[in-house]
Structures are given as structure tokens and as C-alpha cells.
Chains A and B, each alone.
Chain A
Amino acid sequence: MGRETLIDEIRTKLGDAVESVSESYGDDVLAVRPGFLRSLMVALRAAPFDYAVLLDLTCVDFTAGEGRFELVYHLYSLSRNVRLRLKTSLPAADPVADSITGLWKNADWLEREVFDMFGVRFTGHPDLRRLLTYEGFEGHPLRKSYPWRLAQPRIPMKDKV
């Protein structure tokens, strides 16, 4: 399946979910409407798209506006040797997205990391705990609103003389 036909296929089959299609650094980028994320992933995982590998799942904090947080998914198809990037915007007040752990097992820790660092909650995740920081850590350190030097020591610290 060529690149053009693939994009056409996605457009015709999943037109509701896709906001726009663009290209960046040789890979196709789909902007996805948040509510359709999981159903779109289910379709992309199956034939004929066959994106068997979830390469990465991360988040960006754009600070301003309604769509403050942007989730970024990188998919890879082994059978067709192509990559696909998906982006979806989440509201600043209550960033929630559907978990995709049921589709790709490695999404488990990736989603936990995004939860830990950005405070994005994933509904349907089996065990949404902090991954990198420790129990009792308050706030989400990679949010732009987090004071970047604010440490939260677990044991008493002496001040520098």
C-alpha cells in the first residue's frame, strides 16, 4: 500500500477522528480529536494499517490556551516499514485521555510516566501510579507551571555553608 492510498484509506475509514493530515520530517502526522483516540488506535493496530509497534508516547506542555497539553504517539508498522505520528490536544483544566494499554503493553509505563510528569490521567489504565518520582511527591515536574528548582527531599537536608 503506497503512502497516498494509505492516507486516503485513513481519511475514508476514520474521517471523523482525524482533524488534519500533514507531513513532518518524512513521517505523516495526524491531528486527532480527543474523543476518538482509542477507536482510531484500535483501527490502526488492525489490518490493513497494521501498526504493530508503539514506539513512543509522550506529552508536551504548550502553557497557554485551551489545548494546553498535547499527547504525541509514534506508531510503527513492521510489515509495511512506515511510521505514523498522532497528536491530540487536551484541556488545561482536566487533561484526561483513554488508555491504550489494552492495545500495546508498553503503553503501561509510558502512560505512567506522562501521568507522573504532566498529570494527564488515562482512563482504563490498570495501575496509574507515579513512575519516576517517589510516593509523596506533590505536583508534576514537567509542567511549565512547576517551579523548576523546587526539590521535595525525603530526608532532612543540611544547608550549604
Chain B
Amino acid sequence: MSGLDFLTTRLEMALGWGRKYSLFHYPFITACCGMEYMSAACAHFDIDRFGAGLTRFSPRQADLLLVVGTVTHKLAPVLKTVYDQMLEPKWVIAFGACAVSGGIYQNYAVVQGIDRIIPVDVYIPGCPPRPETVLDGLMKLQDKIQHQKQDWRWAGKP
């Protein structure tokens, strides 16, 4: 049995390695943080170096949801739907102060952090965060993916 356990651990590691370097992301961009997302995504900072360069504009093809900017109560059902449409395994990054906590807005209109609607893996603070901060957050997510229990449901395991 111990030999099989060893194999399982190696496969988990390989899966984690594959998943953390092939993040297809869906940018849910609503506000000024989008500018910082653009500079993080383009050639100067280049998130493609970390394997997250492939932007998908359909949630069904994405496994990383980037919530970039303010989410209002009017928009909340849309964000929830987009998250529900993503296939597992999936991860969420709250990008910028507004997505993290509502930021400077505390009023009738703005959701006080997207974790009130959907689960969040990594919070990137800043108003807006610098691209270096974004890359740091991305690497933290990769670390999390590498070390988390991998989803084995396709192999018949829970």
C-alpha cells in the first residue's frame, strides 16, 4: 500500500504543478483597477511568464476568476452567475480594495467585498494595486494550488 500512496502523492504534485501553470483567467473588470490589470497582463509585467496569460472571455473556459473593481448590488447577481458557470476546479482573486472590502465606498449601492457573494482565494489590496502586487498575489495563488488537495472527481474519488 505504501508504494501506491507514494504514487498518489506524486500524481497530486504533478496535477498541482500543471494546474498552477495553466491558469485560464476570466477578467471581470468593472472599474479603474482594469488599467492595472492591463499593465500586469501586457508585455512590461507580463503575467504570461507565470502561465496565466490566456484570457478567456467565457467563464466556461476559465478556471481563474479575476474580479477587478467595484461590484454594486445591481451587478451582484451577474457576478454570482459568472462564478456558477465556471467549471471546477476554479479559483477567485479579489483584485483591488473595492473587490476586497468595498474600498472607499460604503453606501447603499456597493457590495462590501465580493466574499459576501462568492468564495475568494486570494485578496490583492491596493487602490489600485501595482502590477508587482498583482504578480505577488498570482504567485501566492499558485502556491495555494500546488499545496491544496487536488480535485480527483474525474477518477471517481471524492
Contacts and interface: CB of A to CB of B under 8 A. Distances in A.
Contacts of A3: none
A152 interface: yes
Contacts of A149: 106-108
Contact of B73 (A148, A152, A158, A160): A152
Contact of A134 (B74, B80, B106, B112): B74
B116 A133 contact: no
Dominant SS at the A interface?
loop
B13 interface: no
Contact of A151 (B73, B80, B115, B117): B73
A153 B111 CA distance: 8
B80 A155 contact: yes
Given A134-B74, A154-B74, A160 B117 contact: no
B116 A157 contact: yes
Give the size category of B's interface with A.
Answer: 10 to 19
Contacts of A151: 73, 108-109, 111
B112 A148 contact: no
Interface in A107-161: 133-134, 141, 146-155, 157-160
A141 B109 CA distance: 9
A104 B23 CA distance: 51
Q: Which of B106, B108, B109 has the most CB of A within 10 A?
A: B108
B99 to A, nearest CB: 14
Interface of B: 73-74, 76-77, 80, 106-109, 111-113, 115-117
Given A148-B107, A155-B117, 13 more contacts: A133-B74, A141-B107, A141-B108, A141-B109, A146-B108, A147-B108, A150-B108, A154-B73, A154-B74, A154-B76, A159-B116, A160-B112, A160-B115
